[in-house]
């Protein structure tokens, strides 16, 4: 059964922003969501019952360009934390990552802004999570399906530390980071989360007075990507 919110793809918000403007507004904790139309993208959307197939989190620090914290199979871009190319959990230049996901992978992108702005305590927690998780491998498709199913059946919860995640899926990376920052309540296993949990239709509740705004479509024309039709059909 599809979760509430899937149908929202037939009526996307009218909000639209250029990539440069989106980068100028970027703050730590903002979410970037992606949706593609390849067989692999469809497999992730179907397997996880999600309207989107990828999610990452912005990390914006003084004197550095905006960064994207996420997990992916590719190793096109250098990981700015490790200083090398590798697959799995990575920290990328945000502009470069969005352009790769748009041009190379044919993805559409949306931004959800976190409000209010996080403080030094949350930023430090995010960076500690980066230090622990960076370089963690990405799960196989079979592992991904198994993890998603296990996350939906209640079982006694044993404490799961980021170090214990031998492989990490993009939504798990965001969830573990949000929990470390105090934005998500503790108690759920990381594999309960999939990219669709971070879509507004799922009404994810945050802690400490934080909220996520609605999706803002990012116009990727300046990145050399032609605008495609809205994501309504399958």
Q: Map out the domains of the chain as residue ranges.
A: 6-223
For 204-216, what is the mean pLDDT? Answer: 96
What confidence tens digit (pLDDT) does each residue in 8-33 have?
333 345 689 999 999 999 999 999 99
C-alpha distances in angstroms, 196 versus 35, 100, 157? 10, 21, 22
Higher per-residue confidence, 233 vs 223: 223
Please identify, in words, the CATH class of the domain defined by 6-223: alpha beta
Higher per-residue confidence, 16 vs 203: 16
Band the pLDDT of 202: cuts 50, 70, 90. confident
Higher per-residue confidence, 91 vs 163: 91
- Residue 1, pLDDT score: 31
C-alpha distances in angstroms, 83 versus 24, 77, 123, 207? 24, 10, 21, 34
Higher per-residue confidence, 49 vs 88: 88
Burial class (CB in 10 A: 0-12, 13-18, 19+), 170: buried
What confidence tens digit (pLDDT) does each residue in 145-194 have?
555 455 545 554 444 444 444 567 899 999 999 999 999 999 888 888 98
Do residues 91 and 81 touch, judged by C-beta distance below 8 A? yes
What's this model's pTM, rounded to 2 decimal places? 0.81
């Amino acid at each position: 059964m599809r979760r509430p919110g899937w149908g929202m793809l037939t009526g996307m918000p009218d909000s639209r922003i250029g990539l440069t403007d989106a980068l100028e507004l970027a703050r730590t904790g903002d979410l970037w969501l992606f949706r593609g139309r390849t067989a692999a993208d469809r497999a992730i959307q179907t397997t996880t019952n999600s309207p989107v197939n990828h999610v990452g989190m912005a990390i914006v620090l003084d004197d550095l360009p905006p960064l994207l914290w996420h997990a992916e199979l590719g190793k096109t871009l250098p990981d700015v934390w490790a200083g090398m190319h590798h697959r799995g959990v990575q920290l990328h230049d945000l502009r470069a990552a969005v352009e790769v996901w748009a041009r190379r992978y044919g993805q559409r992108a949306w931004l959800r802004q976190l409000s209010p702005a996080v403080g030094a305590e949350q930023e430090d927690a995010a960076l500690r999570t980066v230090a622990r998780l960076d370089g963690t491998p990405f799960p196989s498709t079979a592992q991904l399906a198994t993890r998603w199913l296990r996350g939906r059946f209640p079982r006694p919860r044993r404490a799961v530390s980021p170090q214990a995640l031998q492989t990490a899926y993009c939504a798990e990376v965001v969830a573990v980071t949000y929990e470390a920052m105090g934005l998500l309540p503790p108690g759920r296993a990381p594999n309960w989360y999939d990219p669709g949990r971070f879509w507004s239709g799922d009404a994810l509740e945050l802690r400490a007075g934080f909220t996520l705004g609605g999706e803002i479509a990012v116009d990727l024309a300046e990145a050399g990507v032609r605008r495609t039709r809205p994501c309504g059909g399958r």
